């Protein structure tokens, strides 16, 4: 039997990376062909001791040090790389970390880099939405990876459906209507939202490694389906079941809710523009999900999967 291929997974204890680790450990098509090395930013030593024995784990915060990244990539055939803008809310830092990963992948002669990317919203909106830093920083790294010419593909996660319920869905504060859940977002109810369950990430990355030649240099859109606010509410009523309604939240109210929860003003404006992206320009620029779904073997979850 030939040696297993090694995939290094950054963010191995996070939403995206954790799903990739679990899929490569347990999927029937992958577990006998691949071994996993997990890299995570900050994690208690107790977590490392309880990690699956088939995963080599490192907790060193290495993304700021290219030499350490090269060491983490030693012997890896493939890499799943994700950075966390919201940890520091510093787009320049995220770009530098992403470029460090790309340079290290080139130096380590990685055969397949999968970068968790997003669209450049400033360009997509022709400057109308200039403050969606967490998208634009990842897009800048994607552009850099393409310039390097290393074998890579670009995983494009959609709108986290795990925000529902209990996040964007909130119970009414009106004592006379306390059985109603409200989904209030700052765009019309017919806006198309690409619903993505982060627990599905491993399913998408599985498809990408199984179809490496087909996805090289391509963007792999990761969403179960486009859904409107009205459709989400209708599904919510069936799943829980309860009274629920959608309403378009005014910008001032949306921003006030975010800053009231502790987000700085620039972060609140960033999230508002992120929401407006979906209604004004489409989250994926209007691109279809059909190609992705044609390659994914394991059906992505719907809202019932996050109950």
- Please report, for the chain, how many H helices and E strands are present, in that order: 13, 13
The confidence score (pLDDT) of residue 301 equals 86
- Residue intervals in the chain for CATH 3.40.50.720: 5-160+195-225+283-306
At 274, the pLDDT band (50, 70, 90 cuts) reads: very high
Structure-token pair, residue 255: 């921003």
The confidence score (pLDDT) of residue 1 equals 43
Q: Report whether 69 contacts 100 (CB < 8 A).
A: yes
Q: How many CB atoms lie within 10 A of CB 180?
A: 14
The confidence score (pLDDT) of residue 163 equals 74
The top-level CATH class assigned to 5-160+195-225+283-306 is alpha beta
CA atoms within 13 A on the CB side of 3: 7
Q: Residues 81-134: pLDDT tens digits? A: 999 999 999 999 999 999 999 999 999 999 999 999 999 999 999 999 999 999
| Helix (H/G/I), strand (E/B), else coil: 185 | strand
Q: Residues 39-53: pLDDT tens digits? A: 986 544 434 334 454
Structure-token pair, residue 200: 């599905």
Note the pTM of the prediction, 2 decimals: 0.90
Compute the C-alpha angle 197/201/204, nearest 5°.
115
Decide: residue 106, CB within 10 A, 0-12 exposed, 13-18 middle, 19+ buried. Answer: middle
At 175, the pLDDT band (50, 70, 90 cuts) reads: very low
Per-residue burial over 29-47, b if 16 or more Cβ lie within 10 Å, else e, is: ebeeebbbbbbbbebeeee
DSSP string for residues in 25-57 = HH-TTTTTTEEEEEE-SS--HHHHHTS-TTEEE
The confidence score (pLDDT) of residue 286 equals 87
- Over residues 243-255, the mean pLDDT reads 92
Please name the residues in contact with 29: beta carbons below 8 A apart, sequence gap of 6 or more: 206, 210
The confidence score (pLDDT) of residue 60 equals 53
Please name the residues in contact with 32: beta carbons below 8 A apart, sequence gap of 6 or more: 4
Per-residue burial over 153-174, b if 16 or more Cβ lie within 10 Å, else e, is: bbbbbbbebbebbeebbeeeee
């Amino acid at each position: 039997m030939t040696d297993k291929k090694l995939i290094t997974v950054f963010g191995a204890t996070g939403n995206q990376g954790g799903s990739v680790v679990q899929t490569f450990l347990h999927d029937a098509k992958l577990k006998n062909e691949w071994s996993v090395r997990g890299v995570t930013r900050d994690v208690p030593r107790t977590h490392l001791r309880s990690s699956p024995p088939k995963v080599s784990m490192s907790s060193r915060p290495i993304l700021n040090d290219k030499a350490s990244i090269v060491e983490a990539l030693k012997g890896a055939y493939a890499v799943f790389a994700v950075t966390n803008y919201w940890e520091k809310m510093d787009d320049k830092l995220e770009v530098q970390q992403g470029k460090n990963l790309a340079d290290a992948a080139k130096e380590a002669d990685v055969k397949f880099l999968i970068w968790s990317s997003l669209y450049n919203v400033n360009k997509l909106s022709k400057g109308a939405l200039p403050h969606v830093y967490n998208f634009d920083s990842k897009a800048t790294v994607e552009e850099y990876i393409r310039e390097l010419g290393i074998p890579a593909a670009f995983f494009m996660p959609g709108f986290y459906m795990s925000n529902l319920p209990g996040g964007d869905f909130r119970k009414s504060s009106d004592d006379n209507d306390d059985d109603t859940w409200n989904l209030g977002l700052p765009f019309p109810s017919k806006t198309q939202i690409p619903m993505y369950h982060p627990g599905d990430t491993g399913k998408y990355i599985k498809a990408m490694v199984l179809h490496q030649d087909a996805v090289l240099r391509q963007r792999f859109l990761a969403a179960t389906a486009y859904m409107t606010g009205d459709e989400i509410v209708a599904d919510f009523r069936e799943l829980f079941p309860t009274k629920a309604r959608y309403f378009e939240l005014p910008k001032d109210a949306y921003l006030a809710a975010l800053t009231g929860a502790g987000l700085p003003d620039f972060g609140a404006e960033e999230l508002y523009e992120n929401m407006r992206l979906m209604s004004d320009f489409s989250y994926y620029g209007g691109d279809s999900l059909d190609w992705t779904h044609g390659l994914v073997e394991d059906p992505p979850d719907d809202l019932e999967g996050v109950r």
